C-alpha cells in the first residue's frame, strides 16, 4: 500500500473522508500496547527517558507554559465552552466583620472555580475524539464515554505519565519573523528542517512543543478569533511524521493544534485530531504559552529541557487543565 503523501499540496481538497481514512489506517496503533491500554503513545516515555531528561537541568530555572485561568480568556461560548468563573466563598471582609463563626479571632478565605476542562492551557485526553463512533484502541465510543465520564481512558490514568524530555520547535521563528500567518499548514519537511536548524533531534518518547506565534499575536492584538478561528498549525499530512518519530505527546500555542481553516474546500472539522487521537493514541496539548520558553531556549542555546506536565487526576475526564513546567 502506498503511504499517504506528506506534501500538503497533494491533499484532495474535495475528499476529507478519503484523506482521513488513508492516514487512520496507515498509522493506527490499536493493540500495540495491549487490548486494555489506557495511555496510547504516553507508553513511549520510559523511566530511563525521565532519568535522562532530569540530566538536562542546568540552572534550575522554571518556566510556566500556562495561560492565565480567568474571565479574560479566549473562549466565546462555542459548544458551551466558557472562560473560568472564579468566586470567593469566604473573604477578608467576612473575617473583619466576624461573620465567619470561628473562635479566637481566626479568619480565612475560600474560593471555587467553574470552568470547562478545555478552556485554557490543557491536554486532550484519549476519550476526547472519536472516528466514526470508535474510540482509541478500537473500542465503541459509547462503551468508553457515557454520562458518567470516560470509563476507560479517563485523564486520571495519565496523571503520573507526562514527564520527560521536552523539545521546542519554534516554527514561528524558523519560517517567519516569529509569527506564522493564520491558515499556514506546517509540513513534515518543515518540522524536520526546523529541528535541524535548531540543532536538536526529535526522539522516541519526547514531549514535543510547537510554537507558531499565534498566542503571541493574540496577546498583542486581543483574543479576537483565537478560539476556533483561523490559525497556523500542523497539516493533516504530518500524521505520518507524528507516527514514525514516536513522540509521546505534542502541544502547541494554538486553540486547535492543527491548521485552521482545515485543508479542504468542503465541510471538515479537525481531521488531524480524528487521525491521531482515536487511531494513533496521541495526547495533544493546546493553548500553551511558549513565548518565555522560546526566549529562554535561545539564551541557553538549547531546545531540550525537562518537561513536567501532568493533568489533574479528574476521574473520567476527557481533558484537563494544567500548568506545564519546563525546567532548564
Is pLDDT above 70 for 293? yes
Query: What is 33-79 written as a DSSP string?
Result: T-TT-SSGGGGG--HHHHHHHHTT-SS--EEE-PPP-SSSSS---GG
In a shared domain, residues 42 and 191 = yes
Q: What is the arithmetic mean of pLDDT over 184-203?
A: 98
Q: For the chain, how many structural domains are there in total?
A: 2
Residues of the chain above pLDDT 90, percent: 99
Domain range spanning residue 108?
Answer: 84-114
Q: Look up the CATH number of the domain holding residue 183.
A: 3.50.30.50
* Helix intervals (H) in the chain: 16-26, 47-54, 92-96, 141-144, 171-175, 188-198, 214-221, 239-244, 271-275, 291-300
Q: How far is CA 155 from the centre of its chain?
A: 13
Does 1 map to a domain? no
- From the number of C-beta atoms within 10 Å of its C-beta (0-12, 13-18, 19+), residue 107 rates as middle
C-alpha cell at 54: 532530569
- At 252, phi and psi to the nearest 5? -135, 170
In a domain, 2, yes or no: no
**How confident is the model over 226-243, as a mean pLDDT?**
98
The answer to whether residue 189 is domain-embedded is yes
Does 99 map to a domain? yes
The pLDDT of residue 1 is 67
- Tell me, yes or no, whether 104 and 251 share the same domain: no
Residues 265 and 218 in one domain: yes
pLDDT band at 2 (very low <50, low <70, confident <90, very high): confident
Give residue-wise pLDDT tens across range 111-164: 999 999 999 999 999 999 999 999 999 999 999 999 999 999 999 999 999 999
Asked whether residue 138 is assigned to any structural domain, the reply reads yes
CA dist 99 and 127 (Å) reads: 45
Strands 304-308 and 249-252: unpaired
Percent of the chain that is helix, strand, coil (3-state, to 5): 30, 20, 50
Task: Show the cell assigned to 114.
Answer: 467553574
pTM to 2 decimals? Answer: 0.96
> Both 109 and 216 in a single domain?
no
Is residue 163 located within the same domain as residue 270?
yes
Confidence band, pLDDT 50/70/90 cuts, at residue 62: very high
Residue 178 lies inside a defined structural domain of this protein:
yes
> Does residue 258 share a domain with residue 141?
yes
Q: Mark whether 181 and 269 lie in a shared domain.
A: yes
Task: Give residue 6's pLDDT band: very low, low, confident or very high (50, 70, 90).
Answer: very high
Q: What is the mean pLDDT of residues 90-98?
A: 95
Q: Is residue 292 part of a domain?
A: yes
Residues 33 and 88 in one domain: no
Q: Is 169 within the bounds of a domain?
A: yes
**Average confidence (pLDDT) over 228-240:** 98
How confident is the model over 25-57, as pLDDT tens digits?
A: 999 999 999 999 999 999 999 999 999 999 999
Amino acid at each position: 500500500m502506498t503511504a499517504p503523501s506528506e506534501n500538503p499540496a497533494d491533499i484532495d481538497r474535495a475528499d476529507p473522508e478519503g484523506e482521513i481514512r488513508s492516514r487512520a489506517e496507515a498509522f493506527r496503533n490499536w493493540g500495540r500496547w495491549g487490548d486494555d491500554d489506557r495511555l496510547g503513545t504516553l507508553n513511549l516515555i520510559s523511566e530511563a527517558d525521565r532519568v535522562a531528561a532530569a540530566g538536562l537541568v542546568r540552572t534550575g530555572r522554571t518556566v510556566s507554559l500556562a495561560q492565565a485561568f480567568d474571565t479574560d480568556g479566549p473562549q466565546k461560548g462555542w459548544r458551551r465552552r466558557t472562560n473560568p468563573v472564579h468566586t470567593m466563598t469566604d473573604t477578608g471582609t467576612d473575617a473583619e466583620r466576624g461573620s465567619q463563626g470561628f473562635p479566637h479571632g481566626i479568619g480565612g478565605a475560600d474560593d471555587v472555580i467553574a470552568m470547562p476542562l478545555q478552556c485554557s492551557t490543557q491536554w486532550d485526553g484519549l476519550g476526547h475524539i472519536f472516528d466514526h463512533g470508535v474510540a482509541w484502541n478500537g473500542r465503541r465510543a459509547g462503551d468508553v464515554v457515557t454520562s458518567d465520564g470516560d470509563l476507560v481512558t479517563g485523564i486520571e490514568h495519565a496523571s503520573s505519565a507526562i514527564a520527560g524530555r521536552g523539545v521546542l520547535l519554534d516554527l514561528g521563528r524558523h519560517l517567519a519573523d516569529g509569527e506564522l500567518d493564520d491558515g499556514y499548514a506546517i509540513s513534515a519537511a518543515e518540522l524536520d528542517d526546523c529541528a535541524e536548524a535548531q540543532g536538536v533531534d526529535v526522539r522516541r518518547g519526547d514531549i514535543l512543543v510547537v510554537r507558531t506565534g499565534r498566542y503571541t499575536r493574540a496577546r498583542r492584538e486581543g483574543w479576537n478569533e483565537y478560539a476556533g478561528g483561523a490559525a497556523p498549525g500542523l497539516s493533516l499530512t504530518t500524521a505520518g511524521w507524528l507516527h514514525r518519530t514516536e513522540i509521546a505527546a505534542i502541544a502547541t500555542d494554538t486553540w486547535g493544534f492543527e491548521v485552521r481553516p482545515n485543508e479542504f474546500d468542503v465541510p471538515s472539522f479537525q481531521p488531524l485530531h480524528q487521525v491521531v487521537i482515536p487511531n494513533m493514541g496521541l495526547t495533544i496539548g493546546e493553548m500553551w504559552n511558549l513565548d518565555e520558553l522560546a526566549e529562554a531556549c535561545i539564551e541557553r542555546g538549547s531546545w531540550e529541557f525537562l518537561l513536567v506536565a501532568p493533568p489533574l487526576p479528574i476521574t473520567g475526564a476527557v481533558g484537563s487543565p494544567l500548568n506545564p513546567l519546563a525546567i532548564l
